[in-house]
Amino acid sequence: LEDTKQRTLKKEYSIASLLTLEQLQQLLNTPNIIQDRKLILIDSHNHASSLFKEGELYYYFDPNCNIGEVQTVSIDEIAKLIFDAHFNGIQPYATPSPLGFRMFSFDATAVSYPSQQEVLESIQPVLNPQPRYANEASGLSQAAHIGSLGSVQYFLEQRVDPNLQDNSGSTALMRAASKGHI
C-alpha cells in the first residue's frame, strides 16, 4: 500500500491473543504499544477495524458502524468500542475472545515496541479455553492468522496445542499459510 507521496506502508509490530475486556484494556495501556501516528489494524475472527493516535487523541474507526470515526482521550473507551464492534456486543466482556493488532507506519524511523512475550505474560491470556468462542479460534490461531511470530512463539512455549482446530477445521498452521505467513 502506498500513499500519495509514494511512501510504502510497513508493518512494524503485531500481537494477538484471546482477550477479555479487562485484558484488552491492559494490553492497550502497555507502554509503547499504541504510538503516535501509527496505523493499527485490529482483526478478530470475522471483523476488522482501525485505531490511530495523535497526541492525546485516539481515533477509532469501525467500517460497520454508522457513526463513523470516534474520537476520545480514553483508552478504556477504545477497548470497549473494539470489543463491542468485534463481538457484536453479544459476548460477555469476561469471555476470552480472539483479537490481533498490527501496527503500521509510512515512516522509516525505527521505533521500540515491547516483546510480545512480555506483554502476553503480563496480561495472562487464556491459553486453551474450553469451550472456545468466536469461530472457536485460539490465541495461537489468531496470532498465526495475522502473522505475529512473537505471539505464536509465546503460545507454543506455553504448550498450546498447535493442532487445535477452529469450527471450520483449520489449524493455526493452516490459517498462517492461507495468509501467506511463512
113 contact partners, CB below 8 Å, separation of at least 6:
12, 13, 32, 33, 35, 103
Average the pLDDT over each of 107-116, 120-129, 131-140 and give the range with the smallest value: 131-140
Q: Of how many residues is the chain composed? A: 182
**Residue pLDDT, tens place only, 51-107:** 999 999 999 999 988 888 999 999 999 999 999 888 876 667 888 888 999 999 987
Task: List, for residues 127-140, the tens digit of each pLDDT value.
Answer: 876 555 666 778 99
Query: Given this model, what pLDDT does residue 134 score?
Result: 61
Q: What is the DSSP string of 155-174?
A: HHHTT--TT---TTS--HHH
Using DSSP's 3-state secondary structure scheme, residue 92 falls into: coil
Grid coordinates representing 63?
Answer: 467500517
pLDDT of residue 69: 92
pLDDT at residue 116 greater than cutoff 90: yes
Helix (H), strand (E) counts: the chain = 6, 6
DSSP secondary structure letters along 69-80: -EEES-HHHHHH
